[in-house]
Structure 1
């Protein structure tokens, strides 16, 4: 460690959780407490300060019912019964912040005990609910989970807007509940800009991570649990010149990539582009949906203003929903739909998110509406635009499309979100619409994305609005501070089993970080880089992340000087403009601040870390062992 180069080495969060679980279980097994003197562990898995475990033994098998009492009345109580056991490890979810929460455990043999559990404090900058309109009769004890689109955190709100769930690590993109009751979401670990994480994590709502699925092409945006448990996940191949245009099928147990789909095999890259398209991010896949009925995958391509459907087995293109302007006529004739019905009120979707296949085959999405045209001369200013949830009815025999529902157009710029957001289908006429990227400057919809804006600027307002509508009546509306990627309503508890214990695992693999062909022949000096370079190195079990500040256009490289080899990793100091930023978790305030993830795959032995800046190679004083 030096004053100029910061270095940290930390075990992976899974390792930290394994160690903590082993410690409290060892104490539990040694003491074998009964219900009256049960062990209570607050925030047992480090990352959920509004959770606890109650651990106790019973002489015979009994069921245990936990009640997390509401702070206002008994209608707010969250109650769940666990399966019979003699060894009870009861997860307590949805503690209130800042006060003691009354929690009762009642056993089927008549025993009962009430505890007062004080939660840990939440981070000071959590995003608060600004306004909520709903009722206990409608929303009950469900929690609205919002996933972050910036430096904010995954947060869950009850029917009053109180924060009842929070993770203190920035897991990203969608949360989905798995068949076993756990949730799956993106890892919080940085891998590549702008928002590629190492992979997916499966965890319980209490915060225990069971697996991290590392992916060679990293993870972004969305995933899907197949019937056999395997996982479809959005990814890319960084050996190519394009991104966000692949799906990987992951083995649920091992994380092995079983199969991939490359969108360039069934779509052209240089046609039908949205206002945010470039050659690198030509499709920008932000959602997928598997439909067992016809064995197809539906995809949302933001940068082609297109919802696309392909055959799962053959990758054959079936159809495209979107404005056909700019597409080849032969594709328009074969794959696009013709509007029917109330065509005067029909609108195509633009730069959409979150495609959903309804039970009857209708297609829903969140129509962000960014630009709302295919030709630059027709682009609409954000302050004059609208976003909405929309449902289309498609006839694939006649290739006709009818707009059968929408919510949001009538709200104009106040509901406009140029990025992120989602919709959910609950039942016929019962939907959720989450506009997660609302941003305004001086009261008008901003021209930029919220992820690039400074929430501390008094002229800037960032918020998210989540609405649930049933048969045309709004029964839930919540406005919260900050932009949030998606919303997902879930009950806190699921299934009757006790918490599954045991060591979490890292599965799958990262790719081997590519090296630069040659290391420049520059003068090596026995000194540290200037403090202006702000060099920092973060190491964990399978990689390290290099941070530094470099002027645009300068020569910069990380060099690993080994006993048997030297490896050079080029740092791109060119100014980069991002047309999409669905999560700003990894963004820096100064675009000269760079970071690079270097996988330990392919490394062996001891390496000294050095830095080339312009015409000199500097020491860092840091050595890693692989």
Structure 2
């Protein structure tokens, strides 16, 4: 539902889970009521509305048979095949189609019969990026694809060994993508919630694009998650009712979305020490990665704004060790928790503003060393053009509190591989690693000296954004992919999984949003019965669990949103003076016009029908919109 009130735009949208449930119900109803057999199947392209390179094929067979599906590639080594379990009713996800062509899909029954179906696809979503260059071999990739998660004006995508996009999502699912044990993907929700990039929660999504569950969280989701052996999820979050962010971790119940346990980084030690160049009192730690190590029953957490990886006990939350440059830290912390370099100390480098900490099977620690500033002292900060980023592996001895650098890749490439933010590493086996430098930015062909490449202007021909993904085996580069945009992380996966199926049945939205903080004092304003000026371009988007107010306002003006129902009112202050963004890890939500602001208001915590009014400086305007809240 949508309509226009003079000078105000309003629309009501269903959650994507609701839309997908309706889509699945429609094609399953069509299948149930129709005569669809091996030679006359039902074919539905983009069955869950957000993966244009996926389809579903539905048909019946008289006898139980298994089915092998092969999506024909541009050559035989680009074929993608999957065998599905024995049944008489077959609902088959078709993955790995090419854009804008008549894809040939072979279906073979275990009884020996074959047929070929043509599936026609359209254009990719506008923000899905094409590979600029790729160097590898099909033998090395062995049917696997490289998936990337969006950080700039781009979308999640997966590319085969030729660099062809064979998978994408049309919605901006953010931050990390990890495959769960059941074959589905875990990724940040497509629903932006709070400045600068926090999402409502995390989603479990099939490769066909179906959201099985969205786990909403009161403190929202950012950066990373980790699946435990029992299926429950470690998720990075925060508490928006205090003055710091990105300094909490919770354990989510996989079935209910309930929070089972939480850890608070704030309180482990003083916040105003060990500062990186991007430190702020609001975002003092900036936790961007979590890793659970079963051997030590501990959690490793990457704190970008203190150039530190910390390790805490899973049960007690107590600090075990701290990995980073000890310069500027209090002596009592250094003596108790920090490591001393050993081995080839002349070639040893600490990591700075790192991302993606990984615990190797032998206890070594890997991370992406962004190298931003590459010093704890301002007078020693490096220019970006003189800096480097790299993947690095450290060997730590927690008894002797010693550290040795045993491997690195990227320093030798200098500024051409330099990412001051985002990026990740992967450990595959001894000597076999992936290093993804996802935030490379150039101005006039040199590393940008802007604080973050997210602020580069895509319309300026002298500004360039890149990501480079490299895999190294026994010190030989086996894979290298260049993309003309910035991507948060990369992950190499098979498109199909052993457990792949359609996961039929209604998707669920679990957990809850928080109660949006209100403002105690309402500004005095002359009340008008008219709507604000069209210049503000106000839009109101209502969803099942929240609504979003957005518009354009001059910097520094007083802006408040008021919900009124008789004597009951709820009032929200909206800042029109942006907080400096020292860590824009996902720029997907950035507005081209910095006068545009928005506020997402959760419906959690109250109920009723409310008039929506807005205070702009000295006047209170009636938008004419009513918001219905049913708890």
**TM class, shorter-length:** over 0.9
Match of 2:562 in 1: 559
Residue 441 of structure 1: how far off its partner (Å): 0.2
Residue 6 of structure 1: how far off its partner (Å): 1.1
Residue 126 of structure 1: how far off its partner (Å): 2.6
2:360 equivalent to 1:368: no
Residue 124 of structure 1: how far off its partner (Å): 3.2
2:314 equivalent to 1:312: yes
Long gaps (5+) in structure 1 = none
Residue 111 of structure 1: how far off its partner (Å): 2.1
Any idea what SS the aligned residue of 1:129 has? coil
> Which among 405, 417, 438 is matched to residue 415 of structure 1?
417
Q: Deviation per CA, 1:600-626: give whole Å up to 9, x if none.
A: 112312111111000100111211211
Q: Deviation per CA, 1:276-331: give whole Å up to 9, x if none.
A: 00111000000010001110000110000001111100111111110001111011
Match of 1:338 in 2: 340
Partner Cα separation in structure 2 for residue 188 and residue 123 of structure 1:
15
Match of 2:535 in 1: 532
> Which among 549, 574, 582 is matched to residue 571 of structure 1?
574
Partner Cα separation in structure 1 for residue 407 and residue 270 of structure 2:
31
Partner Cα separation in structure 2 for residue 271 and residue 602 of structure 1:
37
Q: Deviation per CA, 1:86-144: give whole Å up to 9, x if none.
A: 11111011101111111111111222211111113212343211111000110132111
Any idea what SS the aligned residue of 1:366 has? strand
Partner Cα separation in structure 2 for residue 114 and residue 76 of structure 1:
17
Residue 496 of structure 1: how far off its partner (Å): 4.5
2:498 equivalent to 1:495: yes
Q: Is the 8 A contact 1:439 1:450 kept in 2?
A: yes
Which segment drifts farther, 589-598 or 348-357? 589-598
> Which among 220, 223, 226 is matched to residue 225 of structure 2?
223
Match of 2:46 in 1: 43
Partner Cα separation in structure 2 for residue 123 and residue 311 of structure 1:
44
Q: Deviation per CA, 1:474-532: give whole Å up to 9, x if none.
A: 00000011000000001011124532100001000000111111222311111110112
Q: Is the 8 A contact 1:81 1:496 kept in 2?
A: no
Q: Is the 8 A contact 1:301 1:351 kept in 2?
A: yes
Residue 564 of structure 1: how far off its partner (Å): 4.8
Any idea what SS the aligned residue of 1:228 has? coil
Match of 2:444 in 1: 442
Any idea what SS the aligned residue of 2:266 has? helix
Match of 2:163 in 1: 161
Which segment drifts farther, 157-166 or 517-526? 517-526
Partner Cα separation in structure 2 for residue 32 and residue 397 of structure 1:
69
Match of 2:352 in 1: 350
Q: Is the 8 A contact 2:241 2:517 kept in 1?
A: no
> Which among 126, 136, 139 is matched to residue 138 of structure 2?
136
2:245 equivalent to 1:243: yes
> Which among 602, 624, 629 is matched to residue 621 of structure 1?
624
Partner Cα separation in structure 2 for residue 619 and residue 497 of structure 1:
51
**Superposed counterparts of 1:165-180, under 5 Å:** 165-180=167-182
Partner Cα separation in structure 2 for residue 347 and residue 147 of structure 1:
28
Any idea what SS the aligned residue of 2:39 has? helix
Partner Cα separation in structure 1 for residue 133 and residue 360 of structure 2:
30
Q: Deviation per CA, 1:396-441: give whole Å up to 9, x if none.
A: 1111100000000000000000000000000000000000000000
Partner Cα separation in structure 1 for residue 127 and residue 111 of structure 2:
45
2:276 equivalent to 1:259: no
Which segment drifts farther, 116-125 or 408-417? 116-125
Partner Cα separation in structure 2 for residue 355 and residue 539 of structure 1:
38
2:543 equivalent to 1:547: no
Q: Deviation per CA, 1:51-72: give whole Å up to 9, x if none.
A: 0000011122211111111112
Q: Deviation per CA, 1:432-455: give whole Å up to 9, x if none.
A: 000000000001100121211111
> Which among 317, 326, 329 is matched to residue 327 of structure 1?
329
Match of 2:427 in 1: 425
Q: How many pairs were matched up?
A: 625
Q: Is the 8 A contact 1:71 1:101 kept in 2?
A: no
Any idea what SS the aligned residue of 2:571 has? strand
TM-score by length of 1: 0.99
Match of 1:121 in 2: 123
TM-score by length of 2: 0.98
Residue 265 of structure 1: how far off its partner (Å): 2.8
Residue 3 of structure 1: how far off its partner (Å): 4.5
Any idea what SS the aligned residue of 2:5 has? coil
Any idea what SS the aligned residue of 1:88 has? strand
Partner Cα separation in structure 2 for residue 498 and residue 530 of structure 1:
52
Q: Is the 8 A contact 1:192 1:597 kept in 2?
A: yes
Partner Cα separation in structure 1 for residue 29 and residue 240 of structure 2:
44
Q: Is the 8 A contact 1:145 1:488 kept in 2?
A: yes
Q: Is the 8 A contact 1:558 1:571 kept in 2?
A: yes
Q: Deviation per CA, 1:29-69: give whole Å up to 9, x if none.
A: 11141111000000000000000000011122211111111
Partner Cα separation in structure 2 for residue 76 and residue 574 of structure 1:
51
Any idea what SS the aligned residue of 1:451 has? helix
Q: Is the 8 A contact 1:83 1:497 kept in 2?
A: no
Match of 1:381 in 2: 383
> Which among 384, 390, 397 is matched to residue 392 of structure 2?
390
Partner Cα separation in structure 2 for residue 101 and residue 334 of structure 1:
61
**Superposed counterparts of 1:63-78, under 5 Å:** 63-72=66-75, 74-78=76-80
Structure 1 segments of 4 or more deviating over 3 A? none
Partner Cα separation in structure 1 for residue 157 and residue 171 of structure 2:
11
Which segment drifts farther, 41-50 or 488-497? 488-497
Partner Cα separation in structure 1 for residue 603 and residue 52 of structure 2:
32
Residue 589 of structure 1: how far off its partner (Å): 1.5
Any idea what SS the aligned residue of 1:264 has? coil
Q: Is the 8 A contact 2:277 2:378 kept in 1?
A: yes
Q: Deviation per CA, 1:517-548: give whole Å up to 9, x if none.
A: 12223111111101121211111110001102
> Which among 469, 476, 479 is matched to residue 473 of structure 1?
476
Partner Cα separation in structure 2 for residue 504 and residue 498 of structure 1:
14
Residue 363 of structure 1: how far off its partner (Å): 0.4
